[in-house]
A and B are shown apart, each in its own frame.
Chain A
Amino acid sequence: MKRRFKADRFLVQRMGISLIALAAILTVVPIIGLFGYIIAKGAPAISWEFLTTMPSNGMRAGGILPAIVGTFYLTLGTAVLSVPLGIAAAIYLAEYAKENWVTRLIRIAIINLAGIPSVVYGLFGLGLFVLFLKFGTSILSASLTLSIMTLPVIISAAEEALRAVPQSFRTVSISLGGTRWQTIRKIILPQALPGIMTGVILGLERAAGETAPILFTGAAFFLPRLPGSPLDATMALPYHLFVISTQVPEMPIQIQYGTALVLIVFVLGMNLIATFIRSRARAKRQW
């Protein structure tokens, strides 16, 4: 009787752990396969010409330069607003805010901003920037929309980085006659910078890959020239991939895979940079 009970116990254990391992394998293997597949299929399409020329023949030939440049501009434009605003907000939360209902309200707002569907950001951008402020369908409108979407990511990451700086540095700096802002500028910010940068890049990475928020705010279906001002509409890699994989008949499959690969490299390249900054900063850290 006792022996059977024991055997059952271990049978259950073996089955349970096998199931969990199976779930993990079924999750991880497709991810590896996915990356491998896109690289294998997309690499043959990549050439200097593909990266540096305009699309031709209704996008069925030529390169994807305007989409690459457009995504670059959009990412840059997003950074211009969201980085200073996000870091300042994080400084407020980490260094100035007291624990009261206003602060709780701000935190709830940040969590909610992070959860709002990207297409709703698109609607908001259309309503506020494109129509109400009359920026039109433009890089400016799209960047502003993406900025607000990116803001919660940057705030959360930067706040965490600021809080990770030991409290004792603040106490010492204040005790030596530093003001609060001097302490932040000379000690806290430099020490938190790698962490903040990592968060900023991860936030911008998300912005670079988004399609829905730019659909009605700045993305152009086909525009065989580079945007000349922030008030021009622009092509962008994610939207371009959407267009050529669903809207253009008889699209050569190779160009589609090539575009997907360029987009992934663009986005995951940023991810790689962030990881690199983080690990280097950890090795150099003096606390």
Chain B
Amino acid sequence: MAAIKIIVQNLSLQYSDGTESLRDINLDIPANNITVLFGPAGGGKSSLLRCLNRLNDLTEVQTITGKILLDGENILDPKTDVIALRRRVGMVFARPVVLPMSIRQNLTYGLELAGEKHKSKLEEAVERSLKLAALWEEVKDRLEEAAVALSGGQQQRLCLARVLANQPEVILLDEPTSGLDPISTGKVEAALQELKKNYTIILVPHSVQQAARTADFAAFFLQGELVEAAEGKEIFTHPKEKRTEDYVEGRFG
């Protein structure tokens, strides 16, 4: 078993409008692996993801209890430097959102926010992150063009590269391939397999098939509860819980 990067302890969360919520989640997330959070919509996967980089600060949360330990430090502590946290824990969203600027500016945006001004460092980050996201060959000659001109698949890889430029430790992906064609999806998945050597990856997949394809570890969420967590091979072939089995075999959701 790999080293544990994140420990979620007794995490409960309730939104003020009473929609999605999480109930008493306990989960260990190993470093340098792909951990998949899957289950039917509204199960709390995205909510958990948004807790991991405190992005749910933007939503009006009613109550949140429990702990999330990142390298042993509780990130839910009010004293946490959330800006620094979000640089360590990057996020890619379901719909590719490129910022209204050039490809290069998209990539350097995070570093410039942090105050990085050295041209050479920014240059280096652009090339490194694009190569990691398997986009370098396609865009290296058009870095000054508007990012919206890229295709959907390229935009999503640009979003991944933009996160990588920040040199995070953890990458959160919320259904990153839901709007992409199979070829682009394949490219993103291949990039993730490469990336897990150096990063801790947490993925909410857009289908059970993708979950089974990519998961080293997997956790099944149903209506705010963590039903079962195990190694990927284990959970998709011999689930312990009846509810997991029903979902994996396509009986609901």
- Cβ-based interface call for A243 (8 A): no
A39–B232 Cα distance when bound, in Å, is: 79
Taking a contact as CB atoms under 8 Å apart, the answer to whether A177 and B166 are in contact is yes
Residue on A nearest B55 in the bound complex, by CB: A175
Q: A168-B93, A169-B100 are in contact. Are A176 and B110 (CB under 8 A)?
A: yes
Instruction: Chain A residues near B166: list those with CB within 8 A.
Output: 176-177
Give the nearest-CB partner of B163 in chain A: A176
Q: A242 to chain B: closest CB distance in Å? A: 47
Name A213-269 residues within 8 Å CB distance of B: none
Please list 5 pairs of residues, one from A and one from B, whose beta carbons are closer than 8 Å in the complex, sorted by A's number: A171-B58, A177-B114, A177-B166, A178-B110, A179-B113
The CA-CA distance from A168 to B109 in the complex, in Å, is 15
Chain B residues near A174 (CB-CB < 8 A): 55, 58, 86
User: Is B86 touching A176 in the complex (CB atoms < 8 A)?
Assistant: yes
What residues of A have a CB within 8 angstroms of the CB of B58 in the complex? 170-171, 174
Bound CA span A169–B110, Å: 13
| CB <8 Å contact, A182 and B113 | yes
Instruction: Name A's interface SS.
Output: helix
Contact A171 B55 (CB under 8 A): yes
A179 with B83: CB separation less than 8 A: yes
B96-138 interface (Cβ within 8 A of A): 97, 99-100, 109-110, 113-114
- Using A171-B58, A286-B148, A287-B100 as known contacts, say yes or no to A178 and B113 having CB atoms under 8 A apart: yes
Interface residue from B55, B83, B84, B95 paired with A168 (Cβ < 8 Å)? B95
Given contacts A168-B97, A169-B97, A287-B100, are A176 and B162 in contact (CB under 8 A)? yes
Interface residues of A in 151-192 (CB under 8 A from B): 166, 168-179, 182, 186-187, 191
Within 8 A of A (CB), among B136-172: 146, 148, 159, 162-163, 166
User: Does residue B35 face the partner (Cβ distance < 8 Å to A)?
Assistant: no
Place the interface of chain A in its size category. Answer: 20 to 34
**CB-nearest residue of chain A to B89:** A175
Asked if residues A286 and B162 are in contact (CB atoms below 8 Å), the reply is: no
Answer whether residue B53 sits at the interface, using C-beta atoms and an 8 A cutoff. Answer: yes
CA–CA, A182 and B112, complex, Å: 10
Instruction: Give 9 nearest A-B pairs by CB, closest first.
Output: A176-B110, A177-B87, A286-B100, A168-B97, A177-B86, A175-B91, A286-B148, A178-B113, A172-B97
Q: Does B90 contact A (CB under 8 A)?
A: yes
Residues of B within 8 A of A186 (CB): 109, 113
Alpha-carbon separation in the docked complex, A83 to B146 (Å): 30
Residues of chain B within 8 A (CB-CB) of A168 are 93, 95, 97
Query: 17 more A-B contacts (CB under 8 A) besides A168-B97, A172-B97, A176-B162?
Result: A168-B95, A172-B159, A173-B109, A174-B58, A175-B86, A175-B91, A176-B86, A176-B163, A177-B83, A177-B114, A178-B83, A179-B83, A179-B113, A182-B113, A191-B100, A285-B100, A286-B100
Partner of B99, one of A177, A182, A187, A285: A187
Q: Give the CA-CA distance A187 to B106 in the complex, in Å.
A: 11
Known contacts: A177-B113, A178-B113. The answer to whether A172 contacts B148 by CB under 8 A is: no
Nearest-CB residue, chain A, relative to B114: A177
Q: What chain A residues lie within 8 Å of B114 (beta carbons)? A: 177
Kindly state the separation between the CA atoms of A175 and B58 in the bound complex, as whole angstroms: 10
Report A-chain residues with C-beta under 8 Å of the C-beta of B95: 168
Most buried by B among A170, A176, A182, A191: A176
- Are B97 and A176 within 8 A (Cβ)? no
Which of B93, B110, B148, B159 has a CB less than 8 Å from the CB of A177?
B110
